[in-house]
Structure 1
Amino acid sequence: MLNATSTPEFILLGFPGLQKFWFLLFISFLTAYLFVLLGNALIILITNLDVDLRIPMYFFLNNFSFLEICYTSVTVPRLLVDFLTGPRAISFWTCMTQMYFFFFFGTTEFLLLATMAYDRYLAICHPLQYPLLMNGCACTSLALASWLSGFLTPFLSIASISQLPFNSSNQINHFFCDTGPLIELSTGDTFLAETTVFLVSAVVVLTSFLLTLTSYGLIIFTICHIPSASGKHKAFSTCSSHLMVVTIFYGTVIFMYLCPRSTRSSGMDKMISVFYAVVTPMLNPIIYTLRNKDVKRALEKVLNQVKDNCLKHRGKAFLMVLS
């Protein structure tokens, strides 16, 4: 029996039943990862370039897009390398570090989603006081609080898991170091670690979910009392993209971390993990660009500016050739 100090490494098995499709999986994950990087980077770019988008809603979206890049980069790059080289060893503390950052960014994402819902609540339910309540200092404080809370939250779970004993069976049936598959490898009493992970996950998920639900409950109540149909549509359109992201993300994570593991197979766990770790961050840029008129308008403006600059430089180069 080996503990954390004497266990040098684990093996991440990834998707052992799909090894013959490794190239297809590699291309699929690489495409999804590049889409996450480029899509979220594009949102960050246009929200910083367009003066009209320098408002609290897009300040938080800027933070959220950067967070999605970090969140996906914790797991996918190593997975891509493993597709090319086969399952490789990962040291115990590297595994703990990957797990820590995965939950750091995941917790921050929950809190940012709740903060974005609160921002929409103030904008729709208290429009006159909104500029005063959600000023630059308030936005920065809320964003910093989300990041700092996300940074501190995983320590208790990681500390409890790092004390578990492990035997020579060090193969993790997953594509990244997650709490469930790692706890299953332990040969000791895992009650404390499982309880700690469950309670921390429950507090983070349910607290942020209740805050988000409360904000949207008040938003819906306010929208129902708007007399004009156009006013209702305008109010709902400002939060529809965020509501869609919240529904997708919370649904998969609640099913993964708050439902009993005995009701799911390891294959189902991996499918759900792929969805919230890769697919959801890939869908976010699509949701926020296709369903948001302000972002689409800013994107068109940026593309037109790039096109005009290209034509201008091409014209100058043509004149230089003629001369």
Structure 2
Amino acid sequence: MTSLLAFLLVFLVSHKARNVTIGRHFFLLGFHASKYIRVLQFSLFLSVFCGTICGNLLIIILVFTSKNLQTPMYIFISQLSIGDILLTTNIVPKLLQILLYNGGTITFTNCITQLYIFCVLEAFECLLLTVMSYDRYVAICNPLRYATIMTKTCCVRLVIISWAFGFSITLVASIRTAMLTFCGPNIIDHYFCDMNALLDIACSDTSIVHLEITLLGTPSVIIPIIIIIVSYAKIIAAIFRIPSNTGRQKAFSTCSSHLTVVSIFYWTLFSIYVFPTQEQTMNINKLQSLLFTVFTPFINPIIYSLRNNNIREAVKKILKLS
């Protein structure tokens, strides 16, 4: 997948991009720390990486093998796990290399590819979390019509739309970034090819890229978050109308995990890309990005498994069979 995307991006920009840029390398600085600290970071991130892969793979396997989990909510959770695996494998291996060698080089092609895959997965998760909020809205506010609204066909269509949205909405900005001129020394003060970090070192005019990001990115973030807020406002109103405390607790438990994931996702997104503070240094930006790219994919399966009885029961059945 990575090589295919790299070929596509380079093919699309090769007739306009300058030869001085294509084939060049970028140097990723990573974190400014002593060797001892970098060894500790390497051990931590390697453990988190392994836990992320195992945890998300477990959820995917459980959803596709357990009959009790063949429902829209768990299908969406499995798609979120797929996105988390792709995100962490896109970022963390290079991060580990950077920590080992106190920095690392990356080719222009691989850098743009990494940027594109990162943007695709963030846009996909943004829409998927919106779809999941709509699913919880239908389940709680229209329970009698849930089976007829959230059919298997509807779920498949929503998943396809989410992936298509991610691949399409970020392609224009990625191509435009690849067409910029980078005169050198091409040193990126980050641990991956982030959009802001690349625009900072470009020596050609980046105003068009910033305009495209604003025109495409703003509605792509604002509209989903408005839908999520409206959905949860109606969900909370419906929960308060439930007469029994047990019923209210049960209804809230079905969406509390999703609400936690949404809060973490959008808090990090807004703090880094939408409303960064003037005092925010590059080190703070990199630490916040770690939450976005390394720890959130690790936390997501923990949140859904620890707070979900059906997933815990599915795990117990697998352990008994083994």
Cα drift, residue 164 of structure 1: 2.2
Report what 1:152 is aligned to: 168
- Residues 6-34 of structure 1 show CA distances to partners (whole Å, capped at 9, x for unaligned) of 12111011113344422111111101111
Per-residue displacement from partner, 1:40-86 (whole Å, max 9, x unpaired)? 11111122222111111111111111111011111101111222344
For the 8 Å contact 2:270–2:276, the answer to whether it is kept is no
Q: 1:246 aligns with which of 253, 262, 267?
A: 262
Shift of 1:206: 1.4
What is the one-letter code of the residue matched to 2:20? Answer: S
How many residues end up aligned between the 2 structures?
Answer: 304
Superposed CA offset, 1:118-150 (max 9, x none): 111111111111101111100000000000110
Q: Does structure 2 conserve the Cα–Cα contact (< 8 Å) formed by 1:56 and 1:134? A: yes
70-79 or 81-90: bigger deviation: 81-90
Q: How many angstroms does 1:203 deviate by?
A: 2.0
CA separation in 1, counterparts of 2:106 and 2:263? 34
Q: Is the 8 A contact 2:98 2:191 kept in 1?
A: no
> Contact 1:4/1:92 (CA < 8 Å) preserved in 2?
no
Aligned to 2:182: 166
The aligned amino acid for 1:113 is L
Residue identity (%): 37
- What SS class does the counterpart of residue 304 from structure 2 fall into? helix
Determine if contact 2:97/2:104 at 8 Å carries over to the other structure.
no
Q: Which residue of 2 aligns with 1:47?
A: 63
Normalised TM-score (structure 2): 0.90
The partner residue of 2:114 within 91, 94, 98 is: 98
Separation of aligned partners in 1, 2:181 and 2:57: 42
Deviation at 1:198, TM superposition (A): 3.4
> What are the superposed Cα offsets for residues 222-270 of structure 1, whole Å, 9 maximum, x if unpaired?
1111111111111101111011000011101111111146441100110
- 1:179 match: 195
List aligned pairs for 1:1-323, cutoff 5 A: 4-7=18-21, 8-260=24-276, 262-306=278-322
Q: Unaligned stretches of 5+ in structure 1?
A: 307-323
Letter in 2 for 1:243: L
Task: For 2:288 and 2:214, locate their aligned partners in 1 and report how far apart those are by CA, in whole Å.
Answer: 17
Runs of 4+ in 1 over 4 A off after TM superposition: none
In the alignment, the residues of structure 2 paired with residue 98 and residue 262 of structure 1 have an alpha-carbon distance, to the nearest angstrom, of 27
| SS of residue in 1 equivalent to 2:33 | helix
Q: Secondary structure at the match of 2:182?
A: coil
CA RMSD of aligned residues (A): 1.5
Structure 2 CA distance for partners of 1:166 and 1:261, relative to 1, 3 Å: farther
Which one has a bigger Cα radius of gyration?
1
Letter paired with 1:119: D
Does the 8 Å contact 2:136/2:255 carry over to 1? yes
Query: 1:238 aligns to what SS in structure 2?
Result: helix
1:142-183 deviation digits (Å, cap 9, x = unpaired) = 000000110111112112222322222210000000011111
Q: Report SS of the residue matched to 2:106.
A: strand
Contact 1:124–1:219 (CA<8 Å) still a contact in 2? yes
Contact 1:201-1:258 at 8 Å conserved across structures:
no
C-alpha deviation, 1:285, in angstroms? 1.2
State the distance in 2 between where 1:197 and 1:174 align: 20
1:299 maps to a residue whose letter is V
**2-structure distance, mates of 1:71, 1:208:** 20
Measure the CA separation in 1 of the matches of 2:279 and 2:208: 21
The amino acid that maps onto 1:231 is G
Q: Could you say if the C-alpha distance between residues 191 and 261 of structure 1 is closer, same or farther in structure 2, counting changes exceeding 3 Å?
A: farther
For structure 2, the 5+ residue unaligned runs are 1-16
* Distance in 2 (alpha carbons) for counterparts of 1:271 and 1:104: 21
